[in-house]
A and B are shown apart, each in its own frame.
Chain A
Amino acid sequence: MTQINYMNRLRLDERELASRRAFFEITDEDLARLATLRAFGERHSTAIVDALYDLILGHPESRTFFTDERAVARVKKMQQQYFIGLFGGRLDLAYVEDRLRVGAAHERIGLAPKWYIGAYSRYLRLLHDRMFAEMSPADASAAFLSIKKLVAFDMALAIDTYNAANMDTVARHQAAIRELSTPVIRVHHRVLLLPLVGTVDSHRAEQIMETLLLKVVDEQARAVIVDIAGVAVVDTQVADHLLKTTEAVRLLGAETILTGISAQIARTIVQLGVDISTMHTRARLADGIELALGIVGRVIVAKEA
């Protein structure tokens, strides 16, 4: 799988970074304060990460993401690096890029945002307890607020990455479906069949028309059967698309036969007031094939016994 550049995908440049920093109210004082706590972070990193994984591995569902010991050891190490990174004292594009990698890795293994957010909540509690145990209440409160801002910032990045990755996945699936959804079948010399299944929206209708017209010319087809038995909903829009396709096919010099018109569809078409009288229509595909063969000068005859 190709690595997607989420920095570009999320338009994370200096301007966007500044905008996010402003909205999460992360000031230079916050970062400086966190930098002074680096020793604190390093001292507690092992214990905090262990406690975090107690939560993750203690839940029957989140546990399933980490099956073997070695994987757990590896992610714990990465988690420690992540944790110490919170006390780096810098918030630049390199920091963001590092955070995005984490989000993308989680999306790849299918770890949903609820697990992050729950884990972050545990993170904050663990930090809270240790900060208030070691520092004066005023220092602990200030440190905790600073870390909370940065954690919120990171959470937003993780969720944005997750979303973008998800949208990419959906887009890939849609492309695959589109490719599969316009099978133009040659049923006889110069007779084509297009069985339509599912939902016909404007985008798909365009695709159908383009594919079909190219095929008509390629095969020098005289008759095109469009079977709509599998179309979920036939409304005015779908009927209009079918009419347009028929007109375009006619311009090329071929005829369109619409089949698979159920009683329900016939009722809908008439009630909607769509005029499809210019199209050849048949209830069953078999009748459509017979009509199409007639157009190319063939007839189906029974074999003599």
Chain B
Amino acid sequence: MARGSIPILRVANNLLVTVQTELHDAIAEAFQEDLLAAIEKTGAAGLLIDVTGIEIVDSYVARVLADTAKMARLMGTETVIVGIRPEVAATLVRMGYTMSGVRTALNVDEGLALLPRR
């Protein structure tokens, strides 16, 4: 899959992304590049990534998500990841991958509430 395959929406001063496909290696990398480019272009205050649609998160995908959040912070953008499935959370923790430092929320509403409003 090519770059630009995951739509990035702009809502007020935030970016909203809903991942509805499994993030295997090639997509994950393109996804990260797309997001960072969008942040650079828009100077968004917040980034919300909804992962409700992802059923399988391996350590690679988890790292891409966590790294993206760290990179976004360096650019002054707060990231919230919402909708991690119970089985995904259990798997990540079992692998010892807790994505520390990444903010999480139960759903899009709550995620948006965590993002800066400016």
Contacts and interface: CB of A to CB of B under 8 A. Distances in A.
B106 A251 contact: no
A258 interface: no
Contacts of B99: 251
A251 B93 contact: yes
Interface string A235-252: 000000000110111111
Contacts of A250: 98, 104
27 contacts: A213-B87, A213-B89, A213-B90, A214-B86, A216-B86, A217-B86, A217-B106, A220-B106, A220-B107, A222-B106, A244-B93, A244-B94, A245-B93, A247-B93, A248-B86, A248-B93, A250-B98, A251-B84, A251-B88, A251-B89, A251-B98, A251-B99, A252-B84, A252-B86, A253-B82, A253-B104, A253-B107
Contacts of A245: 93
The prevalent SS among residues of A at the interface is helix
Interface of B: 82, 84-90, 92-94, 98-99, 104-107, 110-111
Contacts of A248: 86, 89-90, 92-93
Interface string A201-236: 000000001100110110011100000000000000
Given A217-B106, A253-B104, A247 B98 contact: yes
A252 B52 CA distance: 10
A251 B54 CA distance: 14
A209 B86 CA distance: 9
Count chain B CB atoms within 10 A of each CB in A222, A244, A252 and give the residue with the most.
A252
Contact of B106 (A209, A247, A252): A252
Given A251-B84, A253-B84, A209 B98 contact: no
Contacts of B107: 220, 253
B56 to A, nearest CB: 15
A213 B92 CA distance: 13
Count chain A CB atoms within 10 A of each CB in B89, B92, B104 and give the residue with the most.
B89
A222 B87 CA distance: 18
B48 to A, nearest CB: 12
Interface in A264-299: none
Nearest to A244: B93
Closest 10 CB pairs of A and B: A213-B86, A253-B105, A253-B106, A251-B89, A248-B89, A247-B98, A248-B93, A253-B104, A244-B93, A251-B84
Contacts of B88: 251
Contacts of B86: 210, 213-214, 216-217, 248, 252
Contacts of A213: 86-87, 89-90
A159 interface: no
A104 interface: no
Count chain A CB atoms within 10 A of each CB in B84, B86, B93 and give the residue with the most.
B86
A220 B86 CA distance: 12
A257 interface: no
A190 to B, nearest CB: 9
A26 interface: no
Contacts of A251: 84, 88-89, 92-93, 98-99, 104
A150 interface: no
A254 interface: yes
Contacts of A244: 93-94
B98 A252 contact: no
Interface string A33-70: 00000000000000000000000000000000000000
